[in-house]
Every structure is written in C-alpha cells, then in structure tokens.
Amino acid sequence: MSRQWQNIKGIINSGEKGKRHFLVLMDCAGTILSANALLIKKMHLPNPRSGKISFFDFVNPLHVDGFRQAIQKCGEGKGPQTTELYLKNGYYHPMKWEINSMGNAGGKVQTYLCIGSTLVDDERLNEFNRLSEKNYQLIVESINAGVLFQDIKGELIAANCKTAEIFGTTLERLYQLKDINSLWNASWTITSDQGQKILFDDTPFMKALRTGRFQQEVLVVRLRNGEDRWISFSSQPLFEEGQDIAYSVVSNITDITHEKELILELKERKAVFSAFMNKTPNLIWVVDETGNLVFASEAFYKYFGLQEIQSINRQSVDLVPASVTEALYDKHIQVLQSGMPLETVEKVKWADGTEFVFHINIFPIDSGTGRKMLGGHAVNLADKFRIEKQLKEANERLMMLSKATTDAIWEWDMQTGNIFRNDALMDMIGYQLERPKGLSWWLRRIHPEDRNRVSDKVKETTDKYLQSWEDEYRFKCADGNYKHMHDRGFVVYENGLPVRMIGSLQDMTHLKEMENLLMEEKLERQKEISETIIRVQEKERTRIGHELHDNVNQILSTVKLFIDMLDPSGKGGADLKEKSLDYLGCAIEEIRKLSKELVEPQLIGNGLVNSIQTLIDDIQLSNVIKIKFEHDNESELLSPGKKITLFRIVQEQIKNILKYSKAKNTVINLRSKEGETHLIIEDDGIGFDIKQTTRGIGLSNIYERTRFYDGKVNIEAAPGKGCKVEISIPVF
C-alpha cells in the first residue's frame, strides 16, 4: 500500500500547479473506494466506507459511456486518459478528468485514480448554474447541436460538448477564453458566406443583444488547423421577467460544412453541364412521357431554328420537321414502353430534298419524381462520312508515297500517340514492328547522352509553336549498334494546337565515320609536321653548338695561350694578364654551358634515364642544390620524340628552380603506369601564387611540349610551400 500511495502522490504532483484537484479512487465498475475531502464536500458524498457508492451516479448520463471507455483504455495499458464531462451536485459542473491505472489492489481488483478539475471559475460557475435552472436541456443534454450562452459583453458563460466539437477544440479551451471581442477582431479569421470579414459587433449574437430580436446568419470560421467550416448561428436574446433589456444571449450553432460543400459541388456540376450543353455540336434533347420538350442543347435549337423560351414544355412533334417525327416517333414509344435504350442510324430527308444521316441514341431517364422521361442524342454523320472518305484517300496516297520513296519518313499522330514509320525507315534501324510504337519507344533507343536534348527540343518546338525542328543523335538499332541519325520534323497545327508531326530520317553513320577518319588523319599529319619541325630545330641547335665549341672555344683558347706568353716584367702587364685570364675563363665556361644546352641530347645511345642522371650529376658539382632521382626503366619504351620532350622539360624546370626557387632539395620521379609515363619534379623552395603569376616562357614551353603528345600538366605551388610539376604522357 505504501508503494501505491507513492505512485498516487507522484501522479498528483505531476498535475497542473495552482489548481485544487478532486481525487477519487475507484474500480473498473465505478465503485468509489476512496475520495479526498474536496470531492466529498463539493459533491455532498456520503462516506465511501459506509457503503458502495458508484461514481457513475454523479455523471451526466450522456457522458457515462465515454467515461467507461476511457477507463477501459487506461486498463488496457494505453496510458492515462483524459475526458470532459458534467458532474452533478444539485447542478451539473463542467469538469475535466484524468484517469490513471493504479494496478491491482491486493491482486484482485484493478483500481483507477481519477483527478478532476473544474473548467470554470466560481463567478462564471454561478452564472452557469443560474442559466442551467431554465436551460438545463440545452446546456447539458443537447448532443445534436452546439449551444453557446454569452453575457451582454459577449463573454462565454456556458457551452455544451457539441460546441467544442464543432469548433475543433475542447470545453477546457473554450472556458479559458477571455476578451473574445479582441480575439475575434485581431486573431481569428471569420467571414461571411460571401467572404467578407465579420467584426465582433456584427455577429448574430451581438446583434441579438443589441436589437432584442432573434438573429440568424452563416459564418465561415477558420479553425486552428487551417480548415474552414461553415457554421449556422441562430441567436436568441434572453430577458429577465418584466425586463426589456437582454441580460444574455443563447446561440444554437450547427456545422453545415458538408451541406455547403454539396451545394458548391452541385453548382459546379450544373455549370459544367450547362457549358457542355451550350458547346456540344451534337443534338441533345429530353422529353417527358407526354412528348413535351423538357430540355435541349443549344445546337438542337439552332439546327431547327427554335427559341428556347418558346420551345420548353411544348409538344416536340410541333417543333421539328415532319420527316424527323416520322423517323423517330415510333422509336421513342418503343423505349418508353420497354425501358431499354435504343441505338440506330437514320437517313432523314428535308423538305428541300437534302438528306442527312444521323447516328441516334434514345434512352430512359430516371427523373427521381416518378415522371417518365426520355433522352436523345444525335450525331450528324454526313460530314463524318465525307471526312473519313477524304482521310482514307489521303492515307492511301501516303502509303503509296512511303513505299515508292527510298527516304526514311515518319508521321506522329499527337492525339493518339501512334507513330507511322515507312519500310525504308524500318529497314534502316532493323526492327520489324507488328503495330505502331509511340514516341517513348523511340526515345528509349536514343543514346543516353543525346536523349534529353532531343526530347527537350521536340517539346520546345510545340511549346513555342515553331514550325520545325532538327537534330543529330545516336540511335541503337536492332543489332545493338548505334547509328548517327539526322532527324527533322515539321509540325501541323489545328486551331492553334499541334495535332501531327511529319519528318524524315537520314543515316549519317558513314559520313560521321569519314569525318572521324579525316580528323584522325589530319591530327596525325599535324603531329608528323610538328615532329619534323622539332627534329629540324634540334639539328640546328646541334650545329650551332658544334660551331661554338669547335670554333669560338678553340679561338679563345688560343688567345688564352697568347696572353699566357706575355712578359710580366712590363708595367701593368701582370694585372692585365690576370684580368685577361679571368675574363677568358668565364667566357670559355659560359660557351661550354651554352653548347651543352643547345646540343641535342644523345638519348638514343645513353637513354632518357642516363641523360637525366648526367644532367643532375653536372649540376650537383656546384653543391648549390641536392637532387634525388627516382625512376623505373619503362620510360625507355617511349618514342625518341617523347624522350627528348621529357628531357627538355626536366632541363627547363631545373633551370627555373636554380634561377627562382632558392630551393635546397629537389626530387625527380619518372615512372610508367597503366599506359602513361608520369614525370614529377618537386622542390622545397619559396614557391609562388599560381593565380597571380603569369606563365613565363619556361612554363609555356612545358605546357606546349606536353600538349603536343596529348599529355597533361598539373602545377601545384603556394608561397612558402615550394612547387610541384606533374607531367603525364601516353606511352603509345
């Protein structure tokens, strides 16, 4: 029992603060096991220990079933349940109750702790009870209509549960409302049936208080969830005996949303029906069992030269030509007697000898009043037969032309979606179709990279009312191979709408192959020319280098010997000799370096790796920079031109590093992988900003040499982070 009491205290403490609670402990049958002093005092309950007392005896009979269901759900483990009801104490009190399962008492009976609180304050409760004396059934027992009692300021005094249901809320929220005038005008969205905003003073209940007379009006109320409800207010002022001024007003409210929606739907249907009857070109009529015309389409009146006002409720045989009456009278009688619809084709001859052919349907109509009626529908087939004949002849001509021509042509019926394709087109793509295939079948066989472009172009043509479109795309034929197609379509419009598209298809595959071969040959020729130019340039550089080395260098060396033979005893001769020697030595060294750069590398004999290693060894003699060279031997598979290109790139980048980078270390990596040769040159120098640095002659040479062999260049550099050059060239 101690543990159960702790549970009870926990439930009570978790309730709303600042409210006095009514507490009752009961079993599932409603028998009160215990109750707190507040409930016993307010409800004038006898002591529960003196005998069995049922809590249901104090609940409004209309709310007993709902209270039982809440107890049952709580007992099934669905958690605490909340319900609103009226509890009787001489008067009925609007209350809110929370039901909590306390488990089994002593292992036998399941018990429930019910915590109740009043929904109105004492002042409003007094007004509520005063009204209840004379309006008990309206407030407490009315379940089919909502009831609102308001004071002379429009503040809520009482409301029944149906009112809360209509407004999509609870009694508790309704009774919490204060200053309804301000809420109505500033926060709530309430309009008339015509959509005009209704102010609080213009409501039917406030007008009833002001005029002392009954008021009725439909208001559209927007609920908290955004839903609009049409609510009918019938407001009656209430007077004290012998008084002329109302002290309150009672409003009977009814949710007529469903009825309003039905009315709107009916109006819409009537509007659609009327529009249809006015626009249809066919003859439509309705007659009753006596033969009087009840209704007819606009085309019916025009066809027979009638006026609607003068024709309704007149005998139909007096309105139409005798030839029409002779053709249809017996058939109307047949349908009227059998109750079965009838379909026929009739040829009718007018007085002037003109013949018309009609397809006619006659059928019984249920009027809903027991009055028998017949409906009729007639379609003039004369134009239809003529058009069908012309269409048949046109189709035959088209078939003849499509078979006679060798061109691949197609026709798209945009109303049915079918596409006709002639034999030449089907032979081109290799498919044999038993029945026409639509646009989606064709689009699915267009190459994925071309499909969206073609689809968008066709759609754009009709959207912008263009006359034609054309495009080239790849189409997957029946053998699984793609053909290059040149497609062109022309649009046929009727009444401003696209109804047909006619086009021709041309196989461009052979032409595309020729273009590709021509392009490849052109590129190959360009490469051969460029390689020839490079070889000529290299030979010229070699020749110049040899000239400098064999001639200039030998001459300067001879001068050096002559100067070395000067007599130092002459005045100033020693200084002159020393300076001459220094200058000549520098000249010889510069010429040697220039000669080495200009001479074509002897890669055929030494190989690319050995040539790069020799270049590195020469540079490292100066101890200015350390260079690490990592490589494999796969690069020797490259053509002589590609080897020279890579050697020149290494030569160019090392020169850049020595001149600008201030680097201490450089790593050169040369390896081949997956059909490509990769060259990476990385230094730890001062770096530079790629975005702000213009491409000099050195970098431009690297880019141009690499691009010539369809290679790629990637340079990564940043201030203070050195530079990394990555080159990749295809092996073959």
Strand 293-296 to strand 283-288: parallel, antiparallel, or no bridges (unpaired)? antiparallel
Contacts of residue 512, Cβ cutoff 8 Å, sequence gap at least 6: 484
Strand 32-35 to strand 146-151: parallel, antiparallel, or no bridges (unpaired)? unpaired
Task: Report which of 665, 618, 668, 675 is spatially closest to residue 646, judged by C-alpha positions.
Answer: 668
Q: Is 491 exposed, middle or buried (0-12, 13-18, 19+ CB in 10 A)?
A: buried
Higher pLDDT, 174 or 50: 174
pLDDT over threshold 90, residue 214:
yes
Mean pLDDT in residue range 486-493: 91
Tell whether pTM > 0.75: no
603-732 has the same fold as 292-380: no
Residue 201: half-sphere exposure toward Cβ, Cα within 13 Å: 1
SS3 678: strand
Percent of the chain with pLDDT over 90: 25
Q: What is the pLDDT of residue 1?
A: 42
pLDDT over threshold 50, residue 81:
yes
pLDDT band at 192 (very low <50, low <70, confident <90, very high): very high
Average pLDDT, the chain: 81
Task: Report which of 685, 671, 673 is spatially closest to residue 717, judged by C-alpha positions.
Answer: 685
pLDDT tens digits along 498-515: 988 988 888 888 888 888
Strand 408-413 to strand 293-296: parallel, antiparallel, or no bridges (unpaired)? unpaired
pLDDT over threshold 90, residue 393:
no
Q: What is the pLDDT of residue 94?
A: 83
May I ask the CATH class of domain 2-118?
alpha beta
pLDDT band at 206 (very low <50, low <70, confident <90, very high): very high
pLDDT over threshold 60, residue 166:
yes
Which string of b and e fits 245-272 if b means at least 16 CB within 10 Å?
ebebbbbbbbbebeebeeeeeeeeeeee
pLDDT band at 642 (very low <50, low <70, confident <90, very high): confident
Mean pLDDT in residue range 579-605: 60
- Which range is least confidently modeled, 225-234, 465-474, 538-547? 538-547
Mean pLDDT in residue range 296-314: 90
Q: What is the pLDDT of residue 494?
A: 85
pLDDT band at 351 (very low <50, low <70, confident <90, very high): low
pLDDT over threshold 60, residue 140:
no
pLDDT over threshold 90, residue 617:
no
Residues 501 and 414 sit within 8 Å (Cβ to Cβ)? yes
Q: What is the pLDDT of residue 547?
A: 55
Residues 35 and 49 sit within 8 Å (Cβ to Cβ)? no
Residue 720 to residue 732: CA distance in whole angstroms: 38
Q: What is the CATH number of domain 603-732?
A: 3.30.565.10
pLDDT over threshold 50, residue 457:
yes
- The winner for highest mean pLDDT among 271-275, 533-537, 563-567, 717-721 is 717-721
SS3 663: coil
pLDDT over threshold 80, residue 23:
yes
The answer for 195, left when phi > 0, alpha when psi is -120 to 50, beta otherwise, is left
Q: What is the pLDDT of residue 604?
A: 47
Phi, psi dihedrals of residue 489, rounded to the nearest 5°: -130, 145
CATH architecture of 124-263: 2-Layer Sandwich (3.30)
Strand 626-631 to strand 665-673: parallel, antiparallel, or no bridges (unpaired)? parallel
* Per-residue CA distances from 257 to 75, 161, 229, 385, 580 (Å): 37, 19, 5, 51, 116
SS3 695: coil
Superfamily of domain 386-507: PAS domain (3.30.450.20)
- The winner for highest mean pLDDT among 393-402, 433-442, 716-725 is 716-725
Residue 471 to residue 492: CA distance in whole angstroms: 19
Q: What is the pLDDT of residue 2?
A: 44
End-to-end CA distance of the chain: 93
- The winner for highest mean pLDDT among 37-41, 577-581, 661-665 is 661-665
Q: What is the pLDDT of residue 594?
A: 61
Residue 645 to residue 73: CA distance in whole angstroms: 88
Residue 653 to residue 650: CA distance in whole angstroms: 5
Higher pLDDT, 321 or 528: 321
Q: Which two tokens stand for residue 523?
A: 């590129």
Give me the helix-helix angle, 573-598 and 509-547, nearest 10°.
160
Task: Report whether CATH 3.50.30.30 matches the domain 292-380.
Answer: no
pLDDT over threshold 60, residue 142:
no
pLDDT band at 579 (very low <50, low <70, confident <90, very high): low
Strand 665-673 to strand 81-89: parallel, antiparallel, or no bridges (unpaired)? unpaired
Q: What is the pLDDT of residue 580?
A: 61
Q: What is the pLDDT of residue 133?
A: 62
Can you give the three-state secondary structure of 574-589, one letter per residue?
HHHHHHHHHHHHHHHH
Residue 257: half-sphere exposure toward Cβ, Cα within 13 Å: 11
Q: What is the pLDDT of residue 446?
A: 93
Q: What is the pLDDT of residue 137?
A: 52
pLDDT over threshold 80, residue 53:
yes
Mean pLDDT in residue range 286-309: 90
pLDDT over threshold 70, residue 567:
no
Q: What's the maximum distance between 2 C-alpha atoms anywhere in the chain?
A: 157
pLDDT band at 710 (very low <50, low <70, confident <90, very high): confident
DSSP structure string for 98-159 = EEEEEEEETTTEEEEEEEEEESS-HHHHHHHHHHHHHHHIIIII--SSEEEEEETT--EEEE
Q: Residue ranges of the domains in the chain?
A: 2-118, 124-263, 292-380, 386-507, 603-732
Residue 559 to residue 136: CA distance in whole angstroms: 138
